[in-house]
Chains A and B, each alone.
Chain A
Amino acid sequence: GAVVSQHPSWVICKSGTSVKIECRSLDFQATTMFWYRQFPKQSLMLMATSNEGSKATYEQGVEKDKFLINHASLTLSTLTVTSAHPEDSSFYICSAAPGAGMSDEQYFGPGTRLTVT
């Protein structure tokens, strides 16, 4: 149980275009989903936290107009990288947590590697 999927697993796009990444909780309802970014050989940095049906909370320094997050249902959150640039190339990982009151544990997706050319 507690499986989280991401789609696509990798994507290459041209500079200036937008890319949407999906994160799904397959066998549980995720009240809260998180988006992380990981640069090569570095740790994960939290970008934003999203709760179903409400606006995402972005971490300091993350451009909310560039990284659009939508948590439309209890099993799906999307991250759209708008007007992508080469510096946006990174490994994006989502995680999902069951509803409020549960444990701290987050269940992580397999990640999406974005390359902007």
Chain B
Amino acid sequence: AQSVTQLDSHVSVSEGTPVLLRCNYSSSYSPSLFWYVQHPNKGLQLLLKYTSAATLVKGINGFEAEFKKSETSFHLTKPSAHMSDAADYFCVVSEGGSQGNLIFGKGTKLSVKP
């Protein structure tokens, strides 16, 4: 069975410092992995996705994530946080090729201090 664990429910960083949001997954098959961002009272926006191509995936707004099969991890990083990055971030796993089987992590709230 698939599962996603986001290791931190809340991460707080200062503006201009690096961001690390951790995600570990469990999947029986070759997974597709996603990171979504949700700003308050908004829908989800796709940041990036991994679908068995390059293990280092670059997304929008300067975010990137690295798929590490040996560690079953897919951590999200950004070199320098911006105030507008404050939001909820969800790590999501999907068993490749089947629509609808998206398993969401519990989310990590990112706060950015000035």
Contacts and interface: CB of A to CB of B under 8 A. Distances in A.
A54 interface: no
Interface of A: 4, 6, 32, 34, 42-46, 49, 91, 93, 95, 97, 100, 102-106, 108-111, 113
Interface of B: 32, 34, 36, 41-46, 49, 51, 90, 94, 96-100, 102, 104-107
Give chain A's interface secondary structure class: strand
A97 B99 contact: yes
Contacts of B41: 91, 111, 113
B46 A44 contact: no
Given A43-B105, A103-B51, A104-B32, A110 B43 contact: yes
A106 B98 CA distance: 11
A113 B40 CA distance: 12
